[in-house]
Amino acid sequence: MVRAVRTYLDHLVVERGLADNTLKSYRRDLRRYAGWLADRGVEGFDGVREETVTEFLVALREGDQDHPPLSAGSAARTVVAVRGFHRFAVREGLTQVDPSAAVRPPAPAKRLPKALPLSDIERILEAAGAPGTALALRDRALLEVLYGTGARISEAVGLDLDDLDLEQGSVLLRGKGGKERMVPVGSYAREAVNAYLVRGRPELSSVGHGLPAMFLNARGGRLSRQSAWTVLVRAAERAGVPAEVSPHTLRHSFATHLLDGGADVRVVQELLGHASVTTTQVYTLVTVDSLREVYATAHPRALS
């Protein structure tokens, strides 16, 4: 079973080209699954039944002395990994039966994305970094790009110099599974990036090894996801924004503000890099809520 898991993970790397973070999640989930089976004396596919996979799902939700209980969303992600593994085993002839086929992942509670009002976004952008330093220019450019393009944090820190065309006002983003998309960049983000490239990045690059990375750390290396996250959190703290802010908050705000401004949901889908429009449509719920608030306060017969 352990050997089969390794083969499947190799398949995900070579054939599917999954992103590093996704692959790490699959590796962690499947190792837990294999360990759970081994603890019950199951060493091969012949010992796995539908009820076995169901019991594993229950164990995920209940937790044990080594693992805290998982939320419905986290448990669903693990079950998806397990089902993919068993389908692969059938296709490769390792077994003839898929015991996970009828096991459905738990449905996570639908939560609306958190979006900040534009006034809070502007305060965060203004508070980025200590004024007059190369890092301040970098931090402002980073946050402007995140909010101005709706980029994921991994897409932003993965940018190279050649990916951004300031004259055309566009940026090439590399999303999940290596999929690329071209996204327009607004004037505020272009100005912030240009200021960073002219007055900030040369200073950071001088202590490094001439990397093509757009956003550099203080040692001249590529800025990490964790450091970029810290840049945003500190800017939000300095701005006095009380809400819990993450890079995804800027992405959610980007989408919500576009829809509030009249953008078509399919256009927002393309900008966000969603494979399905149904993923993007959750943002329309936020927009409907805002419309309902306006209606309730403005229409003379909205309230009884």
CA dist 40 and 290 (Å) reads 52
Per the CB < 8 A criterion, the answer to whether 149 and 185 are in contact is: yes
Q: Measured in Å, how far apart are the chain's first and last C-alpha atoms?
A: 64
Per the CB < 8 A criterion, the answer to whether 135 and 241 are in contact is: no
SS3 category, 180: strand
Q: For residue 264, report the phi and psi dihedrals to the nearest 5 degrees.
A: -70, 145
Per the CB < 8 A criterion, the answer to whether 179 and 155 are in contact is: no
**Which amino acid type is present at position 235?**
A
Closest by Cα among 244, 222, 248 to 233: 244
Per-residue buried b or exposed e for 48-80, using 16+ beta carbons within 10 Å of the residue's own CB: beeebbbebbebbeeeeeeeeebeeebbbbbbe
Closest by Cα among 131, 137, 139, 133 to 156: 139
Per the CB < 8 A criterion, the answer to whether 32 and 75 are in contact is: no
Residues designated as active site: 152, 176, 248, 251, 274, 283
Per the CB < 8 A criterion, the answer to whether 186 and 166 are in contact is: no
